[in-house]
Amino acid sequence: MSPEPFGARLRHAMDTRGPLCVGIDPHASLLTSWGLNDDVAGLERFTRTVVEALADRVAVLKPQSAFFERFGSRGTAVLERAVEEARAAGALVLMDAKRGDIGSTMGAYAATYLDKDSPLFSDAVTVSPYLGFGSLRPALDAAAASGSGVFVLALTSNPEGAEVQRATVADGRSLAQVMLDHMAAENAGAAPLGSVGAVVGATLGDTGADLAINGPLLAPGIGAQGATPADLPRVFGASAGNVVPSVSRGVLRHGPDASGLREAAGRFADEVRAAVSDG
């Protein structure tokens, strides 16, 4: 029996829990602001607090793997527990790893995050396509087999990204549009939503791109980076209903009190829902 595709599970989670992804980004300054030490004990306390506060109510939790990997094997062990506990509480886990490579190495990354037998198995993972979209095939195939998803970098919020992503190819399309077109092809015929998503910054204003990929659009930049839920219809247009806004510091700064985290996440989800409905 084939697993339920990620796109269908995400659509259901967004419809029932609200269209919001909360990042788990335990960087040193945030640990300090919570009164925690920048060590494995602080990392574990921070992560467990976020998971216990939010995993039973938000659609997606997105741990940033680098902030765990910096503590070596003990940090990775904290990440493994967080993934397991968040999924058990009903949240979809999007591993923000931004992996990209070729051949067997890409296959190994796919096995790490998209194989059900892996301790880091996640509902989806972020990947970079700028070794060529075809280099992602091992991850795309592994995701399809396990019912997981893949979010592909397209138009990122960092200013430096433009020199690559907005460069044009021979037919006049931007490189980002080439990648978006590949994603649309992967999602063709999927309902209610494809499982190959794009990462498109919410801070970009008019993207100048066709975002109708029949898949989810992960939109970082809400909150601390300056974008607001009200910006979503302007940036994403007719595709705004498929946007999964990602908020990290905008929610996490309300910790370590669990009720503060819950209230902030709930407020963002309500604002996003209202903005998308009005737009």
- Tell me which residues are annotated as active site: 98
Pairing mode, strands 149-155 and 196-200: parallel
Kindly tell me the sign of the dihedral angle through the C-alpha atoms of 28, 32, 38, 43: negative
Q: Would you call the peptide bond into 256 cis, given omega within 30 degrees of 0 as the criterion? A: yes
Q: What is the DSSP letter of 217?
A: E
CB 93 within 8 A of CB 86: yes
Cα–Cα distance measured from residue 63 to residue 272, given in angstroms and rounded to the nearest whole number? 21
3-state secondary structure of 60: strand
CB 49 within 8 A of CB 256: yes
Nearest CA-CA partner of 159 in 217, 92, 101, 204: 204
Tally of CA atoms within 13 A in the half-sphere of 261 that contains its CB: 25
Cα–Cα distance measured from residue 128 to residue 132, given in angstroms and rounded to the nearest whole number? 9
- Residues 6 or more apart from 72 whose CB is under 8 A from it? none
CB 136 within 8 A of CB 109: no
